[in-house]
Structure 1
Amino acid sequence: MEAYVASYAACFRPRLHGQLAHCQQYIKGLFHACRSNVERMNERLPDSSYDALHHFISVSDWDGQAVMDEVARRVQATLAEVAGEQGLLLDECGWEKAGTKSVGVGRQYIGQVGKISNGQVGVFAVLSRGTSAGLVGGQLYLPEAWTTDASRCTQARVPLAARTYRSKPALAAALVDHLLGQDLVRADWVGGDAAYGNSPALRQALQQRGQAYVLDVGPGLHLYLADPTPAADPVWSGRGRPPRRARPLGTALALPQVASQLPPPAWQQVTYRPGQKGPLVRQAVLVPVWRWESSAQSAEALHLLISRELDGTQVKYSLCYCPPGAPALGVAQALYRQMQRYWIERVFQEAKQQLGLHQNQTRSWPAWQHHVALTMMALHLLLDTQLRERETIPNLSFASLKLVLAQKLQNLLHQDDALLAALYQRARANAPKHPPSHAP
C-alpha cells in the first residue's frame, strides 16, 4: 500500500506540510475498520494528528483533479488487460448530509435513500470492461440555490469557474469531454440512465464528438418509426406568420406504443452476461427510429433497444447511436452495453461500503474533491490487486481485500505471506458451490 501511494508523489508537494505523508495516512484510514472521516481515522492511526489530517483534506492546496486524472489513467491501464468492450458509464451518486453549510447541500433526490432529502449529489464516470469497473471522474452538483448565492459559495470556497449553474447532464458532458479529450481513458461507447439519455444536449454533444452511446430513456419519450423529414421546405400560404421550420410527417409514438406494435418473432432471446446461477438472459429487439426535437430542422436517425425479462417484466428502453462509418450495432452487442450499467451501481456500492465515499465530514469544495479523489485512488488499489491476483485467488472480493488490509493495519497480520494466506482462505470461503456458466 505504501509503495502504491508513493507512486502518486508527483500529484503532491512533499515539502509543503508533508502532503504525501498525510496522503499515506488518509489512505490507510480509508482501509481501517472505522468511519472514513478525520476524527475516526485519527483515533486508529498511530503518530497521526487530527489538525494535520484535517488541514490536508480541507485546506491544503494539492490538486484533487490531478489525482483523479492519474487514477483515470491507471484504471485505463488496469482494464486494458481485461477482454471485451470498454464503456464509459455516467450516473449520479448522492448521500444525506445534515445542515446547510456543506458545499452543494440541499433538499434534492438522494438515490441512497430513494427520496428527496437533505444531502449532496455528485455526477460520476465509471470505466467498465467485462465484470470489472473503476471510478475515473467525479464532479459535485451545485443546485441553483447555491450558484445564485455568491456569499455562500465564497464561504464554501467554490472556485469561480464552478459558480455558474450546470445541470447534471451538462456536468456529465463535461466529464466525457475531459476524460476523452485529454486521452485519460478510451471508450467504445458511453452509457447512462434516463436522466442522461433524456437530455438532447448530452446526446448531441456525444454525436458531435463522433462518440457511440447506448443511453437509457424514459417511456414518455416519443419517436417516429419512419423518417418524418418532409421532402420539401415548408411553403407559406401568405396568411399568418411564415413557417420557420418544417413540420414532421407522421405521428410520433411513445415507447410503450412502439413495443406493443412489434410482432412476437421480432424479439430475440439474448444472453448478455454469465451469472452465479447461470447465463443472464433477456428478450431484446433493436428498432430503427427517428427523433425530432422541437428546436431542430430535421430528424436524427437512431436505433431504439427494447429489452425485457423473459416473463415480459422490467422493460428497459435505450437510444443507440453509432457514428458514420462504424460497424452496425447488433442486438446482442446493444444489450450487452445496455446491461453494463449494472456495474456503476456496484462501484458506488463498493466505494461507500468499503471506503466510506459518503462519510466525509467536511464542508468545503476542496475537501469534497480531495476526499473523492483519495477514495478513487483507494478503489483503484482494490481493483488492481483483485485483477493481479485473479489467477491464484479467482473469487477475491473487495470486501475481503478491505478486511484483510484492515487486519494488517491493526498488526493482526505481520507478514505478507500471512496476508496472502488470509486472502486465499476468504476467497475459498466465498467461492460459489457451482461455478458460473459462461455466455457463448
Structure 2
Amino acid sequence: MASTVTHDQDLPEGSITRAELAVWDEEFAALCARMDPLFYRPESRRHARQYLRGLMAPLQRKNGWTIAEHVGEKEPKALQRFLNLTPWNSDVLRDLVVAYAMERFADPQSVLIADPTGFAKKGRKSAGVQRQYSGTLGRIDNCQIGTFLAYANPVGSRVLLDRELYIPEHSWFADRDRCAEAGIPAEAVFRTRPQQVTVMIERALKAGVPFAWFAADEEFGQNPGLRAWLQERRIAYVMGVPKNTEFTTADGDGVVIEKAVGTLRPSAWQRRACGIGAKGFRVYDWALLESDDPDHLFLVRRSLDDGELAYYHCHDPRREGFGALVRVAGSRWPVEE
C-alpha cells in the first residue's frame, strides 16, 4: 500500500505546522539557556528542561510518573530528586521571567492584577498551610494561599509576574521551629496579603514594568492601607468593594454604595462589554457614582441575567473615564481563568 505524505499546506485550518514547531522549539531552547546559570550541574539543566516540557505537555494528569514517561524516563526518581534536592534561586528565576515577559508583552496601557489563589492540602507540613477561607475552593479548608501578581496588556496577552506565599501569623510565625522545618527562612516576617501586593508592585516598578492600572478583588479593594499606598504613588486602580462600602457623594452626603445605586436614573446605565470569555463577549450594564473627590468614583456592574450587582472603587487621577474603568474592571477574569 502506498504511503500518504501530508504537507503543511494540506493541514486543516488552525493546525500547527512543522515550521511553527521548529520555531517554538528554538524559542524554548533559547529560554532554557537563559535559565542555565541557575543550575550548577549539566544534569540539573537537563532535568529542568524535561520538567518544563512536561508542564507544557497536554497530559490529562501531571505528576512525577506522567511527566517522566512523557520525556522518555523509565521512572520519576531523577526528576523527583531534581525538584526536591537541587538548589536554585526562585527569586532570580522570577526576575528572568519578568524580563522575558516584558520583551514580548510590555505595553504602557497594561493592567497589573493581584489575585489570591488557594491550594488544597491534606497535611500540616506544607509552609503556610492551615484551615482558612479560599475563594478558589469556595470554602474554609486546609490549604495554602498564594498571592499572585499578573500582567494583562490591551491585546489580551497575560502572564504571571510574581508570587508570595501567605504565611499566617499566629499558627506559623509564633512557632519558629515549625517554620524552620517547612523551609521558611529565619528572616521572613509576617505580611498580610495586601502588604504582599505592595511588595510585588514595588518589585515591578523597580524592574521597569510599564502599566497604567492596577486591578484586584474585594479582599484588596476594602483594605484602606493598600488604597492609600496606591494613591500616594498616583497608581490608578479599579478594585472590587463590598456592598456596605460608605463614601461621600459629590453633594457632600454620606451614603452606603448599595443604597446609592437606588438613586440612579435608568439613563445612567450603559450596556458595555468588558472582555471576551469562553461564551463570547462579557456584557453587563454599568453605571458610575461620583464622590466628593473627582479622582475617586464608584463603578457599579449589573448582570443582564439576574440583576446581580458588583461594586468597584476607582482611583482615576488621569481622568481616563468610563470606558477605561469598565475595561480595567473586566481585566481580572482572564487571569482568574
Q: Which range, TM-score by smaller chain?
A: 0.7 to 0.9
Mapping of residues 172-251 of structure 1, within 5 Å: 172-183=197-208, 185-226=209-250, 250=253
Residues 73 and 128 of structure 1: CA distance in aligned 2, closer, same or farther (over 3 Å): same
State the number of aligned residues: 309
Select which of 290, 310, 316 maps to 1:316: 310
Cα distance in structure 1, aligned partners of 2:294 and 2:269: 24
Cα shift at 1:311: 5.8
- Contact conserved, 1:143 with 1:165, CA < 8 A, in 2? yes
Amino acid at match of 1:271: A
TM-score under structure 2 length normalisation: 0.82
**Is the aligned partner of 1:62 residue 2:88?**
yes
**Is the aligned partner of 1:137 residue 2:139?**
no
Per the alignment, residue 297 of structure 2 pairs with 303
**Is the aligned partner of 1:289 residue 2:291?**
yes
Residues 59 and 278 of structure 1: CA distance in aligned 2, closer, same or farther (over 3 Å): closer
SS in structure 2 of the partner of residue 307 of structure 1: strand
- Contact conserved, 1:90 with 1:191, CA < 8 A, in 2? yes
The answer to which of 278-287 and 135-144 deviates more is 278-287
- Contact conserved, 1:147 with 1:165, CA < 8 A, in 2? yes
Cα distance in structure 1, aligned partners of 2:180 and 2:42: 24
Per the alignment, residue 120 of structure 1 pairs with 144
Per the alignment, residue 6 of structure 2 pairs with none
SS in structure 2 of the partner of residue 41 of structure 1: helix
TM-score under structure 1 length normalisation: 0.64
SS in structure 1 of the partner of residue 198 of structure 2: helix
Cα shift at 1:71: 1.6
- Contact conserved, 1:25 with 1:48, CA < 8 A, in 2? no
Cα distance in structure 1, aligned partners of 2:272 and 2:60: 43
**Is the aligned partner of 1:78 residue 2:78?**
no
Residues 27 and 278 of structure 1: CA distance in aligned 2, closer, same or farther (over 3 Å): closer
Cα distance in structure 2, aligned partners of 1:165 and 1:344: 26
Per the alignment, residue 112 of structure 2 pairs with 88
SS in structure 1 of the partner of residue 113 of structure 2: strand
* Identical-pair percentage: 29
- Please list the CA deviations of residues 401-421 of structure 1 after superposition, one character each: whole Å capped at 9, or x if unmatched: xxxxxxxxxxxxxxxxxxxxx
Amino acid at match of 1:169: P
Amino acid at match of 1:336: R
SS in structure 2 of the partner of residue 7 of structure 1: helix
Structure with more of its chain in strand, by fraction: 2
- Contact conserved, 1:79 with 1:132, CA < 8 A, in 2? yes
Residues 18 and 339 of structure 1: CA distance in aligned 2, closer, same or farther (over 3 Å): same
Cα shift at 1:23: 0.7
- Contact conserved, 1:13 with 1:19, CA < 8 A, in 2? no
- Please list the CA deviations of residues 64-102 of structure 1 after superposition, one character each: whole Å capped at 9, or x if unmatched: 122122222222332248xx9311111111121111111
Per the alignment, residue 271 of structure 2 pairs with 269
